[in-house]
Chain A
C-alpha cells in the first residue's frame, strides 16, 4: 500500500512541475512583450531614435483612439477606411472562392477540360497580382471594379490550384468503391472527389485570403481615395508615423481575425477530419 501511495505522490509532483512550467512560459511571454514595448517607448521618449520616424506605443494608442472619430489628416475616420477595404476585399475574395474552387475541382476531374484550360492558367499564374494593377486601371478605371478585379485575381489562383490538386490526390480505391456501387461519373465527382479534396481546397482558400488582403493594401496604396492602404500611404506623405503604425496594426489585426473566422468555418465544414 505504501508503495502505491509513493507512486501517486510522485506522479502528482511531476504534474505540478508541468503546470508550473506552463505558467512560467506564459510569464516569459508576457515579460517579453512588456520589455519590447518598454524599450520602444523609452527609445522614443529618451530620443534614442528620431521621433519623426517612429512614434511611441502610447502615441500610437492615442492616435488610434483619435482616428476613431477624427477624419483628419487623411480624410476619413478609421471605421470608414476599414469598411472601404473590407468591402473590396470581401467582394473580390468571395467571388474568387465561389468561382475558383468549383473550377479547380472540375479541372482536376475532367481530363479534357484540364488540358484545355491548364496551359492558359500556367501562363497567367507566375505573374504576381500586383503587376496587374496598372493594366486593370487602364481597362477598368480607378474605381471599385478595378480593385475588385485585382483582388479576385490574387485569390483566384490559389483556390483553383489547391482544389485541382485535391481532386488529383483522391485515393483511387475510394473511387473504385463508388464505381462498384454503380455510381455515375458525376455522382463520383460529387460524393467522393469533392469531399476528399476539401482539406486542400481550404488550404487554398486560406492562402487566397492572405493574398487578397495584401494585394488590396497594394492596390489602395497605388490608387485609391480611401481604405487602409490609402491611409498608410497618406501617413507617409504627411510624415505621420503614428498614422502609418495604426494603419499597419489595423491591417494586421483584421487579417488575423479573417483568418480565425475562416479556420472556424473550415472546422465546421470538415468535421470528419482528425485533428
Chain B
C-alpha cells in the first residue's frame, strides 16, 4: 500500500514536471506566442504592484466575484421559488413550462447583444447576464427534483395529515435538495463562465477584462495571468460550494471524486 502511494506521488510529480518542461521549451522557441514561466511570474508580480486600468488585481477579482455572487443569489432565490411552484403545481407548470422551454436552449452568451442594447454596458447588464446563465439550471433542477420526489415520502406526510406548507418544508424541499444543489452547482460554473465572457466583450474591469486588455496590448503574459486567475478563483468557488453543500445536507453520503 505504502509503495503504491509513493508511486502515485512520483507519477503526479513526473506529469507536473513534464508540463513545466514542455512550457519552457515551447515558450523559449516562440516567446511571442507563449511567455516563459519566468516572464509570466514577473508579469504576475508586476500586476500585483501596479494597477491595471486604475484597479488593483485584488480589485478586479472582487469586482468579478461581486457580479457573480449578486446574480447567483438572485438566481438561486427566484429559481428555487419558481421551480418549486412548477414542480408542485401541474397548472403552473403548464403556464410557465412552454416559455421556459423556449428560452432555455438559448446560451446565456447569446443574450449579450440584446442585453447591451437594452441596458448599455453598465454593472446591471453584467449582473443580468449572469442571472440568465444561472437561473435556468436552478429552475429546471428544482422543478425536476420536486416532481420526482418518491411518492412513498409524500404518502408518509399524507398519512399524518401534513398541510401543504408542512409537506413542502418537511418532505418535498429536503427530498429535492440534492437535485437543487446540483442545479446550483451548474449555475455557479455557468455564471462564472458568463461573467468572464461579458467582461471580455464589454467591460473596463474584472478578470475577463484582464485577458482582453492583455490581448489588445500584445501582452501575452497578462493573458496567461488572467486565465490562471480565472481558473484559480473558479476552482476556489467550486470548493467553497462543495463545503457549503456538505453543511446544508449533512444526511447525504459523501461522494467520492
Question: Chain A residues in contact with chain B, CB under 8 A?
Answer: 21, 25-26, 28-29, 32-33, 36, 53-54, 112, 115-120, 123-135, 137-139, 165, 168, 210, 213-215, 217-218, 221-222, 228-229, 232-233, 235-236, 239, 241, 244-245, 247-249, 251-253, 255-256, 259
Bin chain B's interface residue count. 35 or more
Chain A positions within 8 Å of B99 at CB level: 32-33, 36
In the complex, whether B45 has a CB less than 8 A from a CB of chain A is no
In the complex, whether B250 has a CB less than 8 A from a CB of chain A is no
Interface of A is mostly: helix
In the complex, whether B122 has a CB less than 8 A from a CB of chain A is no
Chain A positions within 8 Å of B223 at CB level: 134-135, 138
Are B91 and A213 in touch, CB under 8 angstroms? Answer: no
The CA-CA distance from A259 to B152 in the complex, in Å, is 33
Are A259 and B15 in touch, CB under 8 angstroms? Answer: no
* Contacts of B55-111 to chain A: CB distance below 8 A: 90-91, 93-99, 102-111
Are A28 and B95 in touch, CB under 8 angstroms? Answer: yes
User: Beta-carbon contacts of B184-225 to A below 8 Å, as 1s and 0s?
Assistant: 000001001100110011000000100110110000100110
What are 22 A-B contacts defined by CB distance under 8 Å?
Answer: A29-B94, A29-B97, A29-B98, A32-B99, A119-B19, A120-B15, A127-B234, A131-B200, A131-B230, A135-B223, A135-B224, A214-B107, A214-B108, A214-B109, A218-B201, A229-B110, A236-B116, A239-B117, A245-B114, A247-B110, A248-B106, A252-B103
Are A127 and B231 in touch, CB under 8 angstroms? Answer: yes
In the complex, whether B51 has a CB less than 8 A from a CB of chain A is no
Are B215 and A138 in touch, CB under 8 angstroms? Answer: yes
In the complex, whether B151 has a CB less than 8 A from a CB of chain A is no
Chain A positions within 8 Å of B93 at CB level: 25
Chain A positions within 8 Å of B108 at CB level: 214
Question: Which of A125, A127, A233 counts the most chain B CB atoms within 10 A?
Answer: A127
